[in-house]
Amino acid sequence: MNQLNLTLPNWIDSFLAKYPKIISDPEEQMRFVLALTERNIREKTGGPFGAAVFEQDSGKLVSVGVNVVIQQNCSAAHAEMMALMLAQKELDHYDLGDARFPAHRLVTSGKMCAMCLGNVCWSGIKEVLSSAEPEDVEKITGFDEGPAPQNYNQELERRGIKIKPELLRSEGQAVLQLYVDLGGHVYNATR
């Protein structure tokens, strides 16, 4: 009972095989993440959230994550957490912003919840691209986004992390709606 092991769904490898290892265009990176999210919904392997870490300049894909909270029995297993932890494992370092590495970007289907916002701050990520807004997540699905600060974007930028929200927002909203339409489970520990 002294070791953690978190795993992404089995279909991830076959999904990744269909995409190039380098995706340079930010919009294409988001389309990739939204397709990843949709796959997680259709496979019924977790909540309607996906994320990926790319090298900021080269567009090289470093890691992906999807929400696997229920499958892994872990409330921390959000898409952004999985992608960030797997990127750190891939680079074998806790700080993705270390001077020896190129800058890294997190691309996420939904703007981070309170927990993932915190991990973004500690992860060494230099830039975030997000699609759906927290209000979309709460309104469409009913998931709680937690106590994120009012000055959300400024808190990131104050720490040297650029954020570009609402990239392909309507596509991000559509993915959330798909989860609801397919009867996806909305879990909220405190509600």
Contact residues toward Zn ion (CB under 5 A) are 78, 113, 115-116
Minimum CB–partner distance for residue 96 and Zn ion (Å): 17
Cα–Cα dist 179/184, whole Å: 5
* Residue 59 or 146 having the CB closest to Zn ion: 146
Minimum CB–partner distance for residue 59 and Zn ion (Å): 24
Cα–Cα dist 170/157, whole Å: 25
* Residue 116 or 168 having the CB closest to Zn ion: 116
Q: Which residue has the tokens 């309507």?
A: 170
Minimum CB–partner distance for residue 110 and Zn ion (Å): 8
Q: Where do the H-state alpha helices sit in 109-168?
A: 114-123, 134-140, 152-158
Minimum CB–partner distance for residue 41 and Zn ion (Å): 16
Minimum CB–partner distance for residue 78 and Zn ion (Å): 3
Minimum CB–partner distance for residue 99 and Zn ion (Å): 28
* Residue 62 or 82 having the CB closest to Zn ion: 82
3-class secondary structure for 44-74? CCCCCCEEEEEECCCCEEEEEEECCHHHHCC
Cα–Cα dist 150/20, whole Å: 38
Would you say 177 and 140 are in contact if contact means Cβ atoms under 8 Å apart?
yes
* Residue 56 or 119 having the CB closest to Zn ion: 119
* Residue 82 or 96 having the CB closest to Zn ion: 82
* Residue 78 or 104 having the CB closest to Zn ion: 78
Would you say 125 and 105 are in contact if contact means Cβ atoms under 8 Å apart?
yes
Question: In the sheet that 61-66 helps form, which strands lie side by side, from edge to edge?
Answer: 61-66, 50-55, 104-110, 127-132, 162-164
